[in-house]
Amino acid sequence: MARNYQVVSTDDHIIEPEGMFDGRLPSKFADRTPKLVHDDEGASWVYEGKSQQMSGLSTAAGQKIEEFSPKSKTFDQMRPGCYDPRERIKDMDADGVDAQVCFPTLPHIAGANFIELEDKEYALAVIRAYNDWLAEEWCGADPDRLIGAAILPLFDMSAAASEARRVAGIGIKAVSLPSHPHTIAGLKNYPDPSWAPLYDALSETGLPAEVHIASGKVDTSVLAKSAGSPAEVFVCLAPSSNMEFVATMLFSGVLRKWPKLKFISAESGIGWLPYFLERADYTHRKHQFWTGSRIDVTPSDLFHQSVYANFISDRAGVELRGMIGVDNIMLGTDYPHTDTSWPDTQRIIKEQLGDLPDEDRAKICALNAVRVFGLDHKPA
Amino acid sequence: MARNYQVVSTDDHIIEPEGMFDGRLPSKFADRTPKLVHDDEGASWVYEGKSQQMSGLSTAAGQKIEEFSPKSKTFDQMRPGCYDPRERIKDMDADGVDAQVCFPTLPHIAGANFIELEDKEYALAVIRAYNDWLAEEWCGADPDRLIGAAILPLFDMSAAASEARRVAGIGIKAVSLPSHPHTIAGLKNYPDPSWAPLYDALSETGLPAEVHIASGKVDTSVLAKSAGSPAEVFVCLAPSSNMEFVATMLFSGVLRKWPKLKFISAESGIGWLPYFLERADYTHRKHQFWTGSRIDVTPSDLFHQSVYANFISDRAGVELRGMIGVDNIMLGTDYPHTDTSWPDTQRIIKEQLGDLPDEDRAKICALNAVRVFGLDHKPA
């Protein structure tokens, strides 16, 4: 149903509710259905002999900054908007957000927890079950407003290509791919030819790939970034760590061979992009001969063709949006993580984008996402 | 002797000449003096059972970009300005550069090759010999124009503190510290209390620490940054990889406890700094409670107090210099590496800084370095 989109966020997160897999696995795997287990310490998902707790930092929407803590929560300590799509929409209404692109949490942002499962037949079944739930139950609550990023069985690129085609057929509008694929057991980095079948499928379906910071099996322990560093170092650096992914895509030749691919660098911020694109073009100009460059256009041309990035609060990037490309910038509200702009998104938009020409602000707040995700937009 | 400094570069490199250690080691180590060995493949330094070749990319000044190659060169294939301080000065004259801060190459940029030597008594002797040569032979050619960055025996912080005090006494004006200390065997990262004696010594002597990108025992193999990435990915990302070092210094509390320390982030570029400082302050504001912050001022305040960064070509940073701090920006010409601006530094200054107010341009081109390195400047 056509809608007048004014604010579209392309970086938000689902906390999966109890029972989401019930009845969704083939009968041979029914007794291996992942279960949510509650105790006084919080809630854990239990499957395949593993027990996964959720960081309290991932369910922080509505908390004061003084209350943030990595300690796991019980579901009744979270806002229901974390796990209930109808409550999510109420929270979006309170924040003036028309639509959100939502990432998985339980399988990890881009599915690494499921991709690495030993029994690949089971892994494929649980990934398909997840995507079915995402389409039917989460996005199903309001398909014009909740856009789920599906996970793919990347351990087998033919299966991943098939799953991408399948989810496109059930109304899914995005897939989630890892920022650091080579940190997932058995996977190679994006330039590897093994990815070709998936690049074909994404080009054919037009599904954009959301690539969230620190996804894959990156060590996201806030204390482990480098020995002895305070926790803030990881928090501060995590967004711009997507620089490595973006550089890899620009220089690999993939975007030259598959020009229809669309990548959204999610939660990466945008303020480093003016510097980065200038540096990438300088690198190409000066180093293309000895490196045996795989591209015959500038990296910034490929960025403008295929890559988008979103931000929460980033005045440096907004100032230099002309050096990024105003058609390549989106918003993210990061609900319900600690960095979320909820419930202050309108105030932040005013502070960050208040002095922009209306056309630029409309593109950044909604119209770029409308175009890339193929939303049915009705101008006011 | 007072000099009117108009262009000071704070990022350049020495290619150590044959015989530099001869007669400089204590007699007990005389037969273990490092030797330069020439063959058809280029030149190698041989010491302690190791043989070290130099990348041709480190001796590229004067080559066309089509000729750049990692293949090692013989000394007669390099510009003499690489290894001869008097020839270096001629090349600086041709480029309109008044002074250069020069990093070591043979011991690696911040000395990691010597720091990791097993025999620590020998390691200390060879480090002291290096610094003596640096002061007497390299800087000695013109102490107002060639500023050497001394290396320190960081395997023992008391010895490092003593060596810092000693080199300050023989006219050395800077030390070189690694961007990734914890990648050197036996060393901890900068927040570790083991560094206290050196911080005391640097505070007392006023010696600024130059921290060059990718220094330590970082895997700088251009092909190894992440599996399957093209070589340009490393080249493109190497400068901004100093972000980790800068974040570590800002959040660690070190700059709060030792406010007189001065760090120059060398070859890091500056265009990511507006984004980074904004992100650092946001991180501090929003995450200081759960992380147990070690600082009671904003990270950007500490940056302005103690950190400087240099660049070769970086229009994004120049545009937003007000968000960085025009007192914290310097130039680097990176002679004789592939990214060097030589012999076009004047043209690049005009292109990058031509439209700036004279005061800003003068600070960036020379006056900030004059202040931080304590050069004897005579206004025109």
- For residue A3, being part of any structural domain is answered with no
Q: E-assigned strands of B14-94?
A: 35-39, 42-47, 50-53
pLDDT score of A143 more than 70? yes
Secondary structure class of A86 (helix, strand, coil): helix
**Closest A-chain CA to B339:** A286
CB contact under 8 A, A243 and B237: yes
pLDDT score of A166 more than 50? yes
Per-residue pLDDT tens digits for A308-324? 999 999 999 999 999 99
Average pLDDT of chain A, as a whole number: 95
- For residue B61, being part of any structural domain is answered with no
> Which tokens sit at A166?
């399948």
- Calpha distance A54→A337 (Å, rounded): 12
Instruction: Check if A237 contacts B (Cβ < 8 Å).
Output: yes
**A272/chain B closest Cα distance in angstroms:** 5
Element at A9 (helix H, strand E): strand A8-13
pLDDT at B1: 80
Suggest the residue from A246, A275, A282, A351 to mutate for an interface test with chain B (most B CBs closer than 10 A).
A275
- Calpha distance B125→B2 (Å, rounded): 34
Q: What is the CA radius of gyration of chain B?
A: 20
pLDDT at B227: 55
Cα→Cα distances B278→A234, B247, B274, B281, Å: 15, 12, 6, 5
Of A227, A247, A274, the CB nearest to B182: A227
**Closest B-chain CA to A182:** B227
Of B228, B232, B287, the CB nearest to A291: B232
Instruction: Check if B279 contacts A (Cβ < 8 Å).
Output: yes
CB contact under 8 A, B279 and A236: yes
Cα→Cα distances B23→A92, A165, B132, B327, Å: 75, 72, 11, 43
Instruction: Check if B287 contacts A (Cβ < 8 Å).
Output: yes
Of A182, A192, A287, the CB nearest to B68: A287
> Which tokens sit at A196?
């070709």
- For residue A379, being part of any structural domain is answered with no
Range A152-163 burial, b when 16+ CB lie within 10 A, else e: bbbbbbebbbbb
CB contact under 8 A, A240 and B284: no
Q: Fill in the DSSP letter of residue A178.
A: E
End-to-end CA distance of chain B: 14
**Closest A-chain CA to B229:** A248
CB contact under 8 A, B323 and A316: yes
CATH number at residue A131: 3.20.20.140
Instruction: Check if A68 contacts B (Cβ < 8 Å).
Output: yes
- For residue A87, being part of any structural domain is answered with yes
Q: Which amino acid is at A42?
A: G
Question: Confidence class of residue A140 from pLDDT cuts 50, 70 and 90?
Answer: very high
Secondary structure class of A102 (helix, strand, coil): strand
CB contact under 8 A, B229 and A314: no
Structural domain boundaries, residue A50:
8-373
CB contact under 8 A, A323 and B316: yes
**A267/chain B closest Cα distance in angstroms:** 12
Instruction: Check if A239 contacts B (Cβ < 8 Å).
Output: yes
- For residue A263, being part of any structural domain is answered with yes
> Which tokens sit at A230?
């305070």
For residue B209, the cross-strand partners are: B175, B263
> Which tokens sit at B247?
């974040």
If one compares A366 and A219, the residue with the highest pLDDT of the two is A366
Residues of chain B with pLDDT under 70: 219-228
In chain A, % of residues over pLDDT 70: 97
Around B305, how many Cα atoms within 13 Å sit in the side-chain half-sphere?
17
**B206/chain A closest Cα distance in angstroms:** 25
Instruction: Tell me which of A2-16, A133-147, A220-234, B227-241 is least confident.
Output: A220-234
Instruction: Check if B317 contacts A (Cβ < 8 Å).
Output: yes
Q: Which residues are CB-neighbours of B264 under 8 A, at least 6 positions away? A: B10, B101, B174, B208, B209, B210, B211, B307, B308, B309, B310, B330, B372
- For residue B139, being part of any structural domain is answered with yes
Residues of B in contact with A291 (CB under 8 A): 222, 230-232, 235
- For residue A2, being part of any structural domain is answered with no
Question: Nearest CA to B113 among B135, B133, B130?
Answer: B130
**Closest B-chain CA to A241:** B241
Number of domains in chain A: 1
End-to-end CA distance of chain A: 14
Instruction: Check if B191 contacts A (Cβ < 8 Å).
Output: yes
pLDDT score of A229 more than 90? no
Question: Nearest CA to A152 among A112, A200, A180?
Answer: A112
pTM for the predicted model, two decimal places: 0.96
- Calpha distance B79→B94 (Å, rounded): 13
pLDDT at A223: 43
3-state secondary structure A325-336: CHHHEEECCCCC
**Closest B-chain CA to A324:** B316
Per-residue pLDDT tens digits for A65-119? 999 999 999 999 999 999 999 999 999 999 999 999 999 999 999 999 999 999 9
- For residue A174, being part of any structural domain is answered with yes
Q: Give the number of other CB atoms < 10 A from CB of residue B312.
A: 21
- Calpha distance B11→B334 (Å, rounded): 5
Cα→Cα distances A349→A310, A332, A344, Å: 13, 11, 9
Question: Nearest CA to A57 among A179, A177, A210, A234?
Answer: A234
DSSP A260-292: T--EEEET--STTHHHHHHHHHHHHHHHHHHHT
